[in-house]
Structure formats: C-alpha cells, structure tokens
Amino acid sequence: MAVKDFIRERFFPHIWCPGCGHGIVLNSLLRAVESLGMSKNEIVMVSGIGCSSRISGYLDFHTLHTIHGRALAFATGVKLSRPELNLIVPMGDGDALAIGGNHFIHAARRNIDLTAIVMNNRIYGMTGGQFSPLSGCGVMATTAPFATVDQSFDVAELARAAGATFVARSTTYHVQQLTKLLREAILHEGFSVVEVLTQCPTYFGRRNKMGGAVEMMKWFKDNTTPVGSKAKTENPALIERGIFVQTERPEYCKAYDQVIERAQKGKK
C-alpha cells in the first residue's frame, strides 16, 4: 500500500503553518506504518488537543480526536477492550506532559501496549505561543515576556522512571532515524514513547530568534548526537537521539487475561 493511501485527501489542506515540523512527523509515521505492512483497519489513532493532535483527522485509520491531555486515557479504554488493535497516540508536549502528565506516567507504569509520540516543539502553538513544561529556562513566550524561569522535563528520563519499556528520541531533521524508531515503537509490545523534536517557526522560532524552519532543523542537526556517542561526553549540552530503553515486562492487557483466567477458575 502506498503512503498516500493512508491519507484522507478529502480533509486537506491541513491546518499547520508553513515550516511546521508536524507534517514531517506525519510523513515519517506513515512510512513506518507502510513498512510494517499493517492493515488500516488494525490501527486506531487517538489524539488530544493542540496542533499535533490534528494529525489524526488527516489519516485513514480509526481516528479519535479527544480532549486536551487525555488521549492516553481514551486509548487505554480502546486498547483494553480490543487488545488486538494497534494504538498510536500522537501528542504535543503540553498535551502529553502538562495537562496529560498523570496519564502519561500511569500508562507507562501499566506498560499497556500503546505507542505514544510526543511531538515536542517546546511551545503551545494552537493558542498562540505560550511556554510549555518542555520549553526550559530562558525561553521567550507570550506568557513569559521576561523569559521563563521554569525548568523542563527530560521526557525520556521521565518515561523510563515511570516504567515505559521502549523509549526513544529523534528529530524532524533525522527523518530516516525517526521512521526506524517509530517502526520499532509500533512493533514493541508494551508502552512505547518516541519523543520527536519538531520545529514551530511561527511561535517558538520567531520569538526566540532561532530563524525559520530550515535554521531550526539545522539546530537539531548541530545540537543532537547519537545515544552513547563520544561527542556527548565532550559536550554534555548535546541532546541524545536513539533508543534509551528497550526492555520486556508483562504487558497490561495480557496480564489482565490472567485476571480473567483466575476469576473464571474461582467461579467454576
């Protein structure tokens, strides 16, 4: 099946700004899905609210565009009731880790088989450029006219600590790697997290004088390094890309099957 067959052409053009990285994530995700040869009927995409969350409407899967921050909770209901389906949950950084932070850590703790994609542009784009929990210190935003003093999360460390069994990171510059990581994440049985650094030239780039989309993607190229590289030891400020966690632990829906087994044994 060609990549374009995964698109709902009827609903284009999309709402994203020129230069936005979200289209690259969409492209990369579809190439990953295509390479897996999955049927469109097996895939359920659940998203929340924000620029990134609009990704679901454009794709010809079963798509559930929910409320702000709660995509993983909706997805948990879909997955547990129909474990044979493949759940992909694209979220923004504010969506996943501010308002949705509790659901994020608990989905990781349960190790339920969902693929969470955190499209991290370090800003609330849909509402016009407020700082997010991933903006970090010293960032200009419409709600931080004197620069932020808030510290940010490391998504990968948070996901690891909460119990996610697959954790990876890439950027919109490193599309080949991103496609490979998304493929691995979808294949992984358990809660998987892929953080994608993606550019918002309209609100983050402009206000923080980072240039346009090209300059911001170049920033990703220059400021990231593969996991465990020598460059990281020489320059700790570099952001690592690649797989951080890839382990096995009982998956929640499978574990619940044992509950059913025990309950029915007790009854008969």
Partner 1 sequence: MKPNTKFLQGNEACVEGALYAGLRFFAGYPITPSTEIAETLSARLPQIGGKFIQMEDEIASMCAIIGASLTGHKVMTATSGPGFSLKQEALGYAVMAEIPCVVVNVQRGGPSTGNPTHVAQGDVMQARWGTHGDHAIVTLTASNHQDVFAMTVEAFNIAETYRTPVILLFDEVVGHMREKLVIPAPGEIPLVERLRTSVPGGVDYHPYLPREDGRLPMSDFGGVHRYNVTGLFHDMWGFPSDNPGVVHGLMRHLVDKIENNAGQLARYKEFELQDADTVLISYGSAARSALHVVRNRRARGEKLGLLELQTLWPFPAALVRDHCARARSVVVVEMNTGQIMREVKAAVKNPENVFLANRIDGTLITPTDIRNILRLIQGRGV
State the Cα–Cα distance between residues 93 and 100, nearest whole angstrom: 9
Give the shortest CB-86-to-partner 1 separation in angstroms.
10
* Amino acid in position 29: L
* Amino acid code (one letter) for 17: C
- Shortest Å distance, C-beta 95 to partner 1: 13
**In whole angstroms, how close is the CB of 253 to partner 1 at the nearest point?**
9
Looking at 1, 5, 41, 249, which residue binds partner 1 (CB under 8 A)?
41
Binding flag, residue 155, partner 1 (CB under 8 A)? no
Pairing of strands 123-124, 130-131: antiparallel
Q: Indicate whether 63 belongs to the interface with partner 1 (CB under 8 A).
A: yes
Question: For 6-29, b where at least 16 C-beta lie within 10 A, e where not — what string?
Answer: bbeeeeeebebeebbbbbbbbebb
Among 5, 42, 222, 248, binds partner 1 (CB under 8 A): 42
**Prior bond of 13 cis (ω within 30°):** yes
Q: Which is nearer to partner 1, 10 or 230 (CB)?
A: 10
In the list 65, 206, 232, 254, the residue contacting partner 1 (rule: CB under 8 A) is: 65
CA end-to-end distance (rounded Å), the chain: 47
The answer to whether 52 contacts partner 1 (rule: CB under 8 A) is no
To the nearest whole angstrom, how small is the minimum distance from the Cβ of residue 6 to partner 1? 10
CA–CA distance, 87 with 26 (Å, rounded to integer): 15
Torsion sign across C-alpha atoms 245, 251, 252, 255:
negative
Per CB under 8 A, does 97 bind partner 1? Answer: no
Nearer to partner 1, 65 or 218 (CB): 65
Which residue lies nearer to partner 1 by CB, 32 or 253? 253
Using CA atoms, how far apart are residues 207 and 216, in angstroms rounded to an integer? 13
Burial class (CB in 10 A: 0-12, 13-18, 19+), 179: buried
Q: How far is the CB of 80 from partner 1 (least distance, A)?
A: 5
Touching partner 1, residues 242-261 (CB under 8 A)? 256, 259-260
CB of 189 to partner 1, least distance (A): 18
Q: Give residues in contact with partner 1 (CB under 8 A).
A: 8, 10-11, 40-42, 44, 46, 56-57, 60-67, 70, 73-82, 84-85, 102-103, 106, 256, 259-260, 262-264, 266-267
